[in-house]
Amino acid sequence: MAHYAKIVETKVTKVIVADAAYINEFVDDSPGTWIKVSINTRGGIHYAPYSHTPDDGTPLRKNYPGIGWTYDLTRDAFYEQQPYPSWTLNEDSCLWEPPVARPVDDKKYTWNETDQAWDEV
């Protein structure tokens, strides 16, 4: 089975799973373009199924998309909407990065855009 995303202009409107031999039975004919995506691709890295372990697979379009994500034809990549104005898009991973790295510990944090800092929850 393969995964496909429907793109209208630059936005993802649907994501489906379908056998490539029967894809025409699942796609609709409303305006938009269907493109193949990989559920195992995150941040430009291909991972073994159901794991956080990179494997030798070929990453496809930087990230597995969700509804409302952007498809950038120039980058051939999917990325989420910018979560905060201060965050920048990493060109290699097409993931948004904060101006200050999140602390690495077992605590929970939320981003504080006003103070440009991570607040412990």
Q: Is 23 helix (H, G, I), strand (E, B) or coil?
A: helix
* pLDDT score recorded for residue 18: 85
Contact present, 26 and 16 (Cβ < 8 Å): yes
Predicted local distance difference test score (pLDDT) of residue 19:
79
DSSP string, 69-88: -EEETTTTEEEPPPSSTT-E
Q: Looking at residue 51, what is its pLDDT?
A: 87
Low-confidence ranges of the chain (pLDDT < 50): none
Look at residue 23 in the predicted model and tell me its pLDDT.
Answer: 67
